[in-house]
Structure 1
Amino acid sequence: MILEAISKNFFLYLSNNKLLDRLAKRFGTSFGADKIVGGETFSQAIPLIKQLNHDGLQVTVDHLGEFVESEAESRKRCQEGIETIQAIAHHQLNSEMSLKLTSLGLDISKELVMENMERILEEAEKYDITVTIDMEDSSRCEPTLEIYKALKEKHANLGTVIQSYLYRSNDYVDELQAYDPYLRLVKGAYKESGKVAFVDKQEVDANLKRLIEKNLLNGHYTAVGSHDDAIIDFTKKLVKEHGISKDQFEFQMLYGMRNQTQSDLVKEGYTVRVYLPYGEDWYGYFMRRLAERPANIAFAVKGMFKK
């Protein structure tokens, strides 16, 4: 447990290193990241999405990148999101889209991020494509949820994420009940203070189970974002006990992780959605995945040396 904690803190520290981020962009995704990232452009990801769809898996794509510092860059990211939606429709891909509000100007102004989100959601509605707002670190959690609430009053095709490692996650789920929320429920992957987040893994897991149960029993669509067999089995048992339709929930897993489990769940008749990131800004995402599970480190190292 001590070594695991050290490993997690180490990779979370690396995820915020700007120098390593610049070097990563120079060398591309060949250092193992190409096994969990769909490419540096959406065009590179399209064949992967088609194969995943062929295998019975649904997809949500995420153009990696966050912490945009200029209005011009945020508008560029907005246009890229619109073009991604158009490409999903053009290629008839079974895919949703996920995005981070910091890539659309959250740290610049609320007016800017709202304008960008309105443009994206209006385009997504033309093609009946759902957009999910990813959750970031705890300092941006409440601003993100306020924007989600405001947008959800006008746009039905919108979801967001709640992280079970935060103490306030249960309150957040309660606050969102009036909005008929589509929630992706996850453990969380950012380095947080013990003042705002559970430190013990067992508490994080227990809280995730509570959130899954609450959102499902309240009748809202729930995406269970976990690779943990205990969480998956808990969800299966819960829906069976309460007669919850398989149309009310789905399992979500990261691209390149637990492939056999994904396939097995599809064969059992469950909806499985693969979170497929792409883009040049893959480094921070890659480091956070290594921090989540020690097994991912061996996975990545193997990928670096595989010919």
Structure 2
Amino acid sequence: MKVLILGATGFIGFPAAEAFVRAGHIVYGTTRSARSAEQKLSPKEIIPVVADPSSEEGMAEWGKIAARCDIVVDALSANGAKTAIDTFHNYLQYVNRPKGSPKPTYIYTSGLWINSRGYGGLDKWTDERQPTSTYNEGVQWRPLIEIPVLESEKVHGIVIRGAVVYGREGSAVATSIFDRALEASKTEKKIFETVYQNESRVASIHTDDMADLYVRVAERGPLLRGQVFMASNQATERLTDVLDAVVRVSGCNGYKAKTPRSAYEEAWASTTLIKPSLGDALTGWKPKKMSLVDGMDIYWSSYLANKNLNE
């Protein structure tokens, strides 16, 4: 198949693009940087599409390529519905296959915080078969794009909701925890501040395992249209266990709670109790990487190495 990854140099998009290449597909990937195209995408056999994916010129550039592809994956970062909706509508403008032809598949990358119900008993647990919640105010825009994708008659629309993604550069784990710990390790007190609650439990997934789910779902697009898949490990982890592991590997002496100052930080400290099953039931997908706590030595070292390379 021909695959287009929107956001192919990103923390989620790049591993997904690599996974599609390994699976034998022809893979295109958008990047804003000619340097990234030359140094990051082309060496991995990903065909670069150098364009700002949200500008008028860029949308026209990738839209023409998307029209020739069987799969389009939106792995662009988004802080609101407008950009994601504009991206999807732009794609639909270019999908003009003859009547009776196979429909292409469109995968939108969402997030698990829209399923969070807080910490508690069985009533707080969720999976792919449960509706979204209103628990986290900062992600209430997600359904505004998810619903049009899932209900589209023009494409096979699928949503993948990612948990807190870890591995490699660290993503949100880096900005919320690793960066703070690294900075604190160079101070006299060696204590870092981060947002957490004592009862917080986090659902997480390694970026390579999430990439594997993209491939499995995309290859079965016509069968899985209208479905939501949760990309998460089978077990959640206590956020303080994650922080304790970071203290151990970073050389810090400890951490203290920081007051949430945004809806994002409120969501970060919220608990997501989840046991995903649809990916396994329909595609045989099973995460293989060590959990964030168990593999902390590896993930901290990878974070440091990637940070040094990027600097």
The TM-score range, normalised by the shorter chain, is 0.3 to 0.5
Q: Which has the higher contact order (CA 8 A, sep 6+)?
A: 1
Bigger fraction of residues in strand: 2
Higher helix proportion (structure 1 or 2) = 1
TM-score of the superposition, structure 2-length normalised?
0.38
Larger Rg: 2
